[in-house]
Structure 1
Amino acid sequence: MIHIYICDDEDIARENIRRIIEKSILIEAYDMKIERSCGSPAELLAHLEKSAQRRNLYFLDVELNCQAFDGFQLGKKIRSLDPHGTIAYITSYKELAYKTFQYHVEAFDYIVKGDGQLHGSVVKCLASFTERMKSENTDTDQFYTLRTGDVIRHVPLREINFFETSSKPHFIVLHGEHQRIEFLGSLQDIEAELADQFMRIHRSYLIAMDKIEAIDLKHNQVTVGGEVCLLSKKEKSRLLARAKQL
């Protein structure tokens, strides 16, 4: 799912953009939702720092009434938190477009508010972004996105062997081919996101089905990526059924 953020300090303009996006999502059945619509860069960044969605799309006003940030400075900060996010700028001044290069923001689109074509431009932006996402999903690896401290990491699914609950409450350990990463999360949420490729075989283990090396039914264990994971008795039959489909 694509998570959309809107930041515009003009209430009427922000609400108009929100309505256009929501209507497009409904009509086109886009796999998107508006995660946050706000008038303050601080509010957007505070929310973003607590989240780790796989793919975000940002609609940012350039002329923000904020001493700390204008839209370009906000975009630069977003880039540090979400390197793979997509940014579309909305402004009343078309001639400011060159500043996206000055700040090295790499904007996906530059939409002008006052030219009478705001609705069509936003709709076109969503359609173009959707087409690009389809192309990326076809041509590139899939990733699992997580946050460790102030760093957002995108780990290719093909490099993940399994997830395990940590000895620290509310933390998960990702076991990869070449790394282990501990992060705040829950197996339930990860399972819901990765159900097609991973399976919960125990309250403490979520494993990659294509990384299974051995299933020991006698000792209730599964070897994944050279490591042993516990197998719940009630999940034996479901695991065997899924393993046969590989």
Structure 2
Amino acid sequence: MGERAGGKPEARVLVVDDEAAITELVGLALRYEGFEVATASTGREALAKNAEFAPDLAVLDVMLPDYTGLEVCSRLRSQGVRLPVVFLTARDATEDKVNGLTVGGDDYVTKPFALDELIARIRAVLRRTRPDLEDARLEFADLVVDEDAHEARRSGVPLDLTPTEFKLLRYLLLNAGRVVSKAQILDHVWQYDFGGGDNVVETYISYLRKKVDKDREPLIHTVRGVGYTLRLPKD
């Protein structure tokens, strides 16, 4: 298992939904966030993937073609498996929510959902259930981002970031040492329905450099023709 910024191991997430578009989109978003991901489209496949993949959390659709998500969760609990579960439901009924939490679910998200909301719920559940995997603080060198407080500091000095700058810095931190492309940054920071050009990435990288790297050792670097990376300067 790999590690993310701050030395934390990557959490494994099993995404279960019979709509391929949802598993692909959620899986892609989670991988961008640094998670390891496996997918399944039926209840039986979910049970098999749980044994094979050993996830730290499952995103589980309530309405599956064989077992319901509630039945999958109940079967896992009856086997003594305490896998944290975030349910997806297309119905905004109180009964669904109560039933999901009654069988041992940890949270629920109603379709249609925003990816940011789902990922935030996943992180919140992991912080409660697997604090060894999920931490609200991301650190690299003397740069610290506290997600819960929505604060960023460099050498202990607060950075006055806009919401978009904060999301961009957080994404670079989650991928510290890796080169991420403009397309990847657009997908994560501006979401998948962004209709503008990739020049916005250059603009916000410039804004961020002026706040993060001003009068300090530069951490944000351009890899020409590839993208951007957060790393220490090369000697």
Q: Pick the structure with greater CA Rg.
A: 1
Provide the TM-score with structure 1 as the length reference: 0.44
Provide the TM-score with structure 2 as the length reference: 0.46
Higher strand share: 1
* Bigger RCO of structures 1 and 2 (CA < 8 A, at least 6 apart): 2
